[in-house]
Amino acid sequence: MRPRRPRTLTAAALAVSLAVAAVFPAAAAAAPSTARSDAEPQRAQLRQLARKLVDAGAPGVIVRVDDGRGRPIEIAEQAPWSRRDHRLTAGDEFRMGSNTKTMVATLVLQLAAEGRLALTDPVDKWLPGKVPDGEAITLRMLLNHTSGLFDYTEDPALRPSILGTDRRRWTSAQLLALGVKHDPLFAPGTEWSYSNTDYAALGAVLERVTGASLAELVRDRIARPLGLKRTYYATDSTWRGPHAHGYERDAAHMPPQVPAGFRHFAGQRRHGHVDVSGNDPGWGGAAGAVVSTAQDWARFSTALMSGELLPAAQLAQMRTTVPVDPRQPDGPGYGLGIQTGATPCGTFWGHDGGIPGYLTTNVTDRAGGRTATVLVSTELWAEFDADPKIAKAAGALQSAVICAMFGKPVPAAAHAG
């Protein structure tokens, strides 16, 4: 979700796209692809980086890398104290947070391909009177975060739900109303700013156009057709299978950079942490309520980028980006529910997601033949830049994973980190 710090691939992959260039030598771009005989050394290197991230304070880490040339690398590492709750595996379910936006955008584009809506439709066509200046805000602007709408996750009324102390069920309409209570940030289409309210609006539009719930749409249009048996839109706090436990520091151990209002999470206390796995992600809505696994998400990414889920015209629309930083017009770009960024090892497409207990980066190549996922089972450190030690170790792992996905060697600089 990334509520307080609205960045894309937000603290993770956008940072990776910048950090890789800083951490890795430029020569990595020209490095030859690794042969399959190098798979085991590469696995060992990634495992070492995952262990360093756990040693830096992450309760658990899942890594999955598929370079399209053989058996994927799958790694799960966890802090010894967390094993009393659950033995982490690479196949565990976890909360996807804002990666949900890629699925929601896919649903919108499927309906566009069917002629049931158009990206040029003003939001007022589908939600009359629900969005200020709704005649000027198009569905495309919602999809690529150029609407100017205030991010509802910044409203203090949502904080108890984020912390897990309020278990109310939020609807798309309610989340949208929370966001539009605030003045817009800029005129529609004039700037870029990441806003979860954009996707709350899209969730309400999808429900209006189809008459189906978001859970039904994810199930019937994506999960079932692709055979994603561990992927679903969460309608409450329960899990459907073995899942990664997510944690945040308890109030006594929370880094000082974290504001007082975000220091008291609901959940069972464990070794200076709070297990937030049982907290309801419903406040994420269409912006962040999907649950999946690394393997399922890889299948989704491959299907999406290869054209299995969308016709060529809609996939091209999804890949049409706007700069996330006006000072870098050729830098990282945000498309329709997906982001792209260049690294010395290759140009990735994907998204990230942050929701208490879970920070996930999912990336793929342009054609979907290569995929990678990194899950860190704690998230608040990234919201407030509250733990430089974890941030450094996470950046090194994420950067190395991207290079491994592109079949490039894990540079020695990553190990030095």
Mean pLDDT by 10 residues, the chain (417 residues): 39 40 33 56 95 98 96 97 97 98 98 98 98 97 98 97 94 98 98 98 98 98 98 97 98 94 96 97 97 98 98 98 93 97 96 97 98 98 93 96 93 59
> Can you tell me the distance from the alpha carbon of 109 to that of 206, in angstroms, rounded to the nearest whole number?
11
pLDDT confidence of residue 40: 87
CB 248 within 8 A of CB 273: yes
> Can you tell me the distance from the alpha carbon of 42 to that of 38, in angstroms, rounded to the nearest whole number?
6
Structure tokens at 400: 């190395």
Structure tokens at 320: 């049409």
CB 406 within 8 A of CB 346: yes
CB 349 within 8 A of CB 365: yes
> Can you tell me the distance from the alpha carbon of 314 to that of 307, in angstroms, rounded to the nearest whole number?
9
pLDDT confidence of residue 280: 96
Q: How many CB atoms lie within 10 A of CB 306?
A: 15
Q: How far is CA 201 from CA 74, 101, 240, in A?
A: 36, 12, 27
User: Is the C-alpha dihedral spanning 118, 122, 124, 125 positive or negative?
Assistant: negative
pLDDT confidence of residue 351: 98
Reduced to 3 states (helix: H, G, I; strand: E, B; else coil), residue 364 is: strand
pLDDT confidence of residue 409: 87
Alpha helices in 167-239 (DSSP H): 172-180, 196-210, 214-218, 224-226
Residue 319 per-residue DSSP state = T
CB 320 within 8 A of CB 129: no
Residue boundaries of the structural domains of the chain: 13-416
- pTM, rounded to two decimals: 0.93
Position 40: which residue type? Answer: E
CATH assignment, 13-416? 3.40.710.10
Closest CA to 230 of 290, 310, 304: 290
pLDDT confidence of residue 410: 75
> Can you tell me the distance from the alpha carbon of 264 to that of 283, in angstroms, rounded to the nearest whole number?
17
pLDDT confidence of residue 39: 79
pLDDT confidence of residue 412: 65
CB 417 within 8 A of CB 291: no
